[in-house]
Amino acid sequence: MNATTSVNPVLRVAPAAPADAAAYFRASLVFHADVSDVASVLAAGGDPGFVVLDSRSTASWDQGHVPGAVHLPTALIAEQAEQLLDKDVPVVTYCWGPGCNGATRAALALAELGYRVKEMLGGFEYWVREGFAFETWEGGERRAADPLTAPVDAADCGC
């Protein structure tokens, strides 16, 4: 190790070998879905090939949720999943946002029951922050996109 990497906190631990990095990032995509990808597939209409599951409380659901999502709080998954979900259809879970691991707990509970599942990164927070329409107990709503999370003058971020 040279003097630069010994004091540089970014390179203090060397990056993974390219093959290891590719395997890691491929695995990450197996487990996660991006908010904008979910939104674009749902906006296209037709059968998206997955179901979106909101794992939050009823009060949270009423405050706002992804249109067309299934509401199933994590605590009720073991009891109610089979009545609400088809094991042949992948499930994309979400909760409040990146500071909440509720979607992760819901995904774990579903996986343990035999469902194929992904977690929607950013959760409901980023759904709203990126300017996608949502439903509340009072009806539909949409807020302007936050320029820190979504492009201002482009259809997508290009990533």
Residue-by-residue DSSP string for 49-92: SSEEEE-S-HHHHHH-B-TTPEE--GGGHHHHHHHH--TTS-EE
Q: Which of 9-18, 48-57, 149-158 has the lowest mean pLDDT?
A: 149-158
Whole-number Å distance between alpha carbons of 21 and 34? 20
pLDDT of residue 5: 47
Nearest CA to 92 out of 65, 118, 110, 67 is that of 118
Tell me the Ramachandran region of residue 114: left when phi exceeds 0, alpha when psi lies from -120 to 50, beta otherwise. left
Q: What 3-state class would DSSP assign to 19?
A: helix
Q: Which residues pair with 121 in a beta bridge?
A: 34
Whole-number Å distance between alpha carbons of 126 and 98? 8
pLDDT digits (tens, 9 = 90+) for 125-142: 999 999 999 999 999 988
pLDDT digits (tens, 9 = 90+) for 65-77: 999 999 999 999 9
